Amino acid sequence: MLDRYSLYSLLGHNTFGIDVKAAQFVEFDSEEELINIISSGIQKPVLTIGAGSNLLFMNDFKGTVLHSRIYGAEVIAESGNDVLLRVGSGMNWDNLIAYTVEMGWQGLENLSIIPGEVGASAVQNVGAYGVEAGDFIERVDAIALCDGSKRCFSKDECRYSYRNSIFKMEEKDKYVITYVTYRLRKKPEYVLDYANLRDLVAAKGALTPALLREVIKEVRSAKLPDVSVLGSAGSFFMNPVVSREHAAELAMQYPQMPQYDTADGRKKLSAAWLIDTCGWKGKKVGNVGVYKSQPLVIVNYGGATGKEILDFSMQIVASVKEKFGVTLVREVNVIE
């Protein structure tokens, strides 16, 4: 059933816990309902949200916030090696992983307990511990906001890269995702090369998708705040990528600075390390602070406004720029 509300509080719909209202808030349970909403005219601007785990609201939202309640996972093809699973965009991301692990379909375990929903995984290309959602996405079904028409995006059309996709570039705000189809493995190929993951897993016993999921849950919870307890949106910034020349200069000055090769021959730096080295870890200004065990995460200790959080983040950007000459780019989506 379609639910439409006016002047609706978004407090429970953004993990930063910002108290703003949407002029219109609409939840739909099927593609047909979504098409009906679009064809009956929709108050603009339109913002589609999942769990609101990567959003920072500055003000009340003057248009319509759309939220998918399309659930369910259906096997649409299967072979001896893999399975194609078509999943409703409103499904909770970690519930999906719990289900795939239970079914013995391998691939998504490294992305366990990332807050959010299936639709957003296909926009944001969520990633952790050496795996990205886009590695497993086969197809994305969406409805165009301009005319309610259906469109399928192939994996190649989605153009996945680090925390990026076509839905954050050319097609930004043009489509509402309704289903995401994942290709999962029946024959496991685990990714264990991130930090000391391999050793942590070996210490626990025989490797299975369920065991890997348990280890990831432990590693992640030790470093990142639980958004149901402390408001945050995970990593506030992306890990910056710099030229080899710039990276070499920085390495001379800061021999301990972590640097990783990228596919295009540049170097990726650790935003957490840069912020940490500028002395921000655990710092608090008013209601806002840098998380104690992962400085890439900005937290709302209660009652902070979007502006307070954004201003605080700008201070971090300025100090990293001054010390290292590196510009941090936000990962969180600021909604004006």
Any idea which residues carry the catalytic annotation?
163, 235, 331
Our separate counts of H helices and E strands in the chain read 9, 20
Q: Is 296 in the site for ligand EPU (CB under 6 A)?
A: yes
Q: Is 239 in the site for ligand EPU (CB under 6 A)?
A: yes
CA distance 114 to 137: 17
Q: Is 133 in the site for ligand EPU (CB under 6 A)?
A: no
> How many CB atoms neighbour CB 124 within 10 A?
24
Among positions 244-283, residues that touch ligand EPU (CB under 6 A) are: 258, 270, 272-273, 276, 281
Burial of 101 from C-beta contacts in 10 A (0-12 / 13-18 / 19+): buried
- Beta bridge partner(s), residue 183: 84
Q: How far is the CB of 23 from ligand EPU (least distance, A)?
A: 29
CA distance 224 to 246: 30
Q: Is 83 in the site for ligand EPU (CB under 6 A)?
A: no
The window from 1-9, 25-33, 149-157, 235-243 that contacts ligand EPU (CB under 6 A) reads 235-243
CB of 191 closer than 8 Å to CB of 110: yes
Q: How far is the CB of 327 from ligand EPU (least distance, A)?
A: 15
The window from 2-10, 69-77, 90-98, 231-239 that contacts ligand EPU (CB under 6 A) reads 231-239
> How many residues make contact with ligand EPU (CB under 6 A)?
20
User: Could you tell me where the beta strands, DSSP code E, fall in the chain?
Assistant: 3-9, 21-28, 46-49, 55-57, 61-68, 73-78, 82-88, 127-128, 131-132, 137-144, 150-154, 175-185, 231-235, 241-242, 259-261, 267-269, 284-285, 288-290, 297-300, 333-335
Q: Which is nearer to ligand EPU, 15 or 24 (CB)?
A: 15
Q: How far is the CB of 323 from ligand EPU (least distance, A)?
A: 14
Q: Which is nearer to ligand EPU, 68 or 121 (CB)?
A: 121
Please report the sign of the dihedral spanned by the C-alpha atoms of residue 246, residue 249, residue 250, residue 255. positive
Q: Which is nearer to ligand EPU, 186 or 223 (CB)?
A: 223
Q: Is 331 in the site for ligand EPU (CB under 6 A)?
A: yes
Q: Which of 112, 235, 305, 313 binds ligand EPU (CB under 6 A)?
A: 235
Q: Is 128 in the site for ligand EPU (CB under 6 A)?
A: yes
Q: Is 198 in the site for ligand EPU (CB under 6 A)?
A: no
Sheet strands side by side (includes 284-285): 231-235, 297-300, 288-290, 284-285
CB of 32 closer than 8 Å to CB of 70: no
Q: Is 238 in the site for ligand EPU (CB under 6 A)?
A: yes
Q: Which is nearer to ligand EPU, 64 or 239 (CB)?
A: 239
CB of 10 closer than 8 Å to CB of 20: yes
The window from 8-16, 173-181, 201-209, 291-299 that contacts ligand EPU (CB under 6 A) reads 291-299
Residue numbers at the binding site for ligand EPU (CB under 6 A): 128-129, 194-195, 223-224, 234-235, 238-239, 258, 270, 272-273, 276, 281, 294-296, 331
